[in-house]
Amino acid sequence: MAGFPLKIPPQINRLILLTLGIVGSYLIARYFLTPATFGQYGWYRGAALEEIASRTPVYAGKLACDECHSEKLEMLAKGKHQTLSCEGCHGVSSQHAANPDILPVKMAGSHCIRCHEQNDSRPTWYKQIVVKDHYAGKCRECHMPHNPTEVPEEPQPADQAAKEEKQKPESPEKKPGAVEKAGKAEKAEVP
Amino acid sequence: MSKSFSRRGVLGSLGGIVGGLLSLPVARHVKAAVQRVFASAGAPEGYDATKHWWLMVIDIDRCIGCGLCAEACKNENHVPKVPTYFRTWIERYIIKKPRPGTTETRGETLVDSPNGGIDGFPPSLVPREEILKSFFVPKLCNLCHQSPCTQACPVGATFDAPDGAVLIDPNYCIGCGFCIQACPYGCRYFNPETKTADKCSLCYHRITRGLKPACVEICPTGARIFGDLKNPVPDDPILRFVRDKKVQTLKPHLGTEPRVLYAGMDKEVR
């Protein structure tokens, strides 16, 4: 039977129909189910960019702080702590920025040590202290957190002032300059 | 082979053609309805990914290893607060002095990162006399231009966005973990809460709103510098920094072309 047109055997016909059916249903499913933005920028869903961007930020950022506390930021900009972010010390503050009644977290004095405790791996230009050799009292007795080379003039809160009176006669007085000396002395040995 | 045009046959095929043409707009409506079910909304308005080109530079000389960046990253991005899950972390490198009696110029390199540096770094076990030098290196997604993770993803869930961020589509990720193994910098982890791969998104929800990424915002010494190469601000800090300092990338031999640049890096840093 080698005539023209070729007589296609029925089992092959069924196979062709089956293949067409599978491919056709795949194409139809793909048409309906492929997201509209797939391929907008590349082989991925373009809308994913917006979805990832739609999350709410947790940290408010220094600009948000500047809206109300510009005087603190001006003070900060004058001193050695000018590169610090507000939320580095005061904690996550987007809720406070949205509603000033919600106060940011108060930081303990030990927070200063997080950055300023002597560590052999810290760069030599960075001011470091060995806390046990430096001073036994509170950091804020000698350093204003917003401008650390200045000695605070304003009276301390009542509970802190009471503690200071107990500590002051015992511990030796140190001037702000001591921080630099201590930092340099400690780091001089390690290149 | 003879053909006969019967009335029934012609009307039938005409009806088929008309019906097919009519079904196209119907199909479009059905498609739109299906798409609406999958889509979700709530993105910041007015951000065009094709008009930005984000870049990050890390100044190793300025890193003090305080761990604020790694902590802020976990707060900002709701990363599980246990070790092994990090979008950014700090490594401490200790390079020992050469062993006596050898001709080497630098000794053994030790690297550690206890809890990613969030709790600070305890004094090193290496005695100070044996240390040649020591420093901190903050690590994060290197934002590769030729990213191995994107190439490994079998479902198109991770991609190189037009603005330079390498992102993961959480709806598409099947959690197979290929990308986690593919990343030569170890920047990806499997998020046990979402059951998807996760990584630094360059704080995409912040940068699209004009904020800095959380780690850059929080860094107390300015060791992380972030900028937009397509929209430089006057006296742009990132352009100035790249001009003044010698920058390089991590593992340049892999050809991944990272967009996170490091300044002041020693050859031991990997």
A59 touches chain B (CB under 8 A): yes
Tell which wins on pLDDT, B199 or A153.
B199
Over residues A65-79, the pLDDT tens digits come to: 999 999 999 999 999
The model's pLDDT over A160-182, given as tens digits with 9 standing for 90+, comes to 444 444 444 444 444 444 444 44
Amino acid A154: pLDDT = 63
Who wins on pLDDT, B8 or B141?
A: B141
pLDDT (average), residues A30-45: 88
Q: Round the average pLDDT of chain A to a whole number and report it.
A: 79
Using CB atoms and an 8 Å cut-off, which of residues 240-269 of chain B contact chain A?
none
**Hey, what's the torsion of the CAs at B7, B9, B14, B20, to 10 degrees?**
150
Contacts of A119 in chain B (CB under 8 A): 64-65, 121, 123
Chain B CA closest to residue A62: B217
Q: What is the mean pLDDT of residues B134-149?
A: 95
What CATH number has the domain spanning B49-145+198-263?
3.30.70.20
pLDDT (mean) for B60-76? 94
Answer yes or no: are the C-beta atoms of B161 and B51 closer than 8 Å: no
Domain ranges of chain B: 49-145+198-263, 148-197
- Residue B2 amino acid letter: S
Q: Which pLDDT value is given to residue B42?
A: 52
Report how far Cα B241 is from the mean position of its chain's Cα atoms: 22
Binned at pLDDT 50, 70 and 90, residue A187 comes out as very low
Determine the Cα–Cα distance for residues B111 and B92; give it in Å rounded to an integer. Answer: 6
Answer with the residue of higher pLDDT: B20 or B208: B208
CATH code of the domain made up of B148-197: 3.30.70.20
DSSP A137: S
pLDDT digits (tens, 9 = 90+) for A88-98: 888 888 888 88
In this prediction, residues A32-59 reach a mean pLDDT of 89
**Residue whose tokens read 């100044």:** B59
Q: For chain A, which domains are there? A: 50-107 (1.10.287), 108-191 (no CATH)
Rounded to a whole number of angstroms, the CA Rg of chain A reads 34
- A121/B contact by beta carbon, under 8 A: yes
Task: Give B144's DSSP letter.
Answer: B
- Picking from A73, A139, A147, the residue whose alpha carbon sits closest to that of residue A112 is A139
Q: Could you tell me the end-to-end alpha-carbon distance of chain B, in angstroms, rounded to an integer?
A: 76
ipTM over 0.85: no
- The answer to whether B91 touches B113, Cβ cutoff 8 Å, is yes
pLDDT at A156: 54
pLDDT at B248 over 80: yes
Backbone torsions φ then ψ of B58, nearest 5 degrees? -120, 125
Let me know: does B226 contact B56? Beta carbons within 8 Å. Answer: yes
pLDDT value at A135 more than 50 = yes
